[in-house]
Amino acid sequence: MAPFDTSSLVLLLFAALGILSSNTSITIAVLVLLLLRVTNLHQTFPWLEKYGLTWGIVILTIGILTPIASGKTSLQDLLHSFLHWKSLLAVGVGVLVAYLGGRGAALMASQPTVVTGLLLGTILGVTFFRGVPVGPLIAAGILSLLVAK
């Protein structure tokens, strides 16, 4: 395997866009993948393709639940989420986002060719519109609503 084949060049382009947009997550992910390629550990790619999204969601969920585990968010705080209109709206939006994320995960699994476009769109949104790089799964969910059969 040549060190600068097409896949590596695309990954380097994504790394450059990640650096330009200050998107640390993209930059680190790309650099890890490049490291796996150059150290001849690319045999891990099928495993990462199959389980990477699941493990990423597990890690994200751990981060989200940590305030509850640490005691910073109490049961009383959670119950108060149902007493104010903004909190109720936040619960509804959370449900919608989780639904879209599920649709997005299914779309990304069934049509992996859209992943590159979603990542590029996210990077462009961060770079040119001061966005926050949290959206590929949700973007895929919205896309699934637009292209669903």
Q: In tens digits, what is the pLDDT along the chain, a chain of 149 residues? A: 455 588 889 889 888 988 888 878 888 989 999 999 989 898 999 999 888 878 888 898 899 899 999 999 888 888 887 788 888 888 888 888 888 888 888 888 888 788 888 878 877 887 777 777 666 777 777 777 788 76
> What is the C-alpha to C-alpha distance for residues 26 and 16, in angstroms, rounded to an integer?
10
Return the pLDDT at 61: 86
Return the pLDDT at 103: 87
Return the pLDDT at 134: 67
47: its two tokens = 């495993």
End-to-end C-alpha distance for the chain, whole angstroms: 39
> What is the C-alpha to C-alpha distance for residues 58 and 65, in angstroms, rounded to an integer?
10
Return the pLDDT at 45: 92
Q: How would you write 18-44 as a 3-class SS string?
A: HHHCCCHHHHHHHHHHHHHHHCCCHHH
Indicate the pTM of the whole model: 0.66
Are the beta carbons of 53 and 108 closer than 8 angstroms?
Answer: yes
Query: Which residues in 72-102 are b (16+ Cβ under 10 Å) and which e?
Result: eeeeeeeeeeeeeeeeeeeeeeeeebeebbe
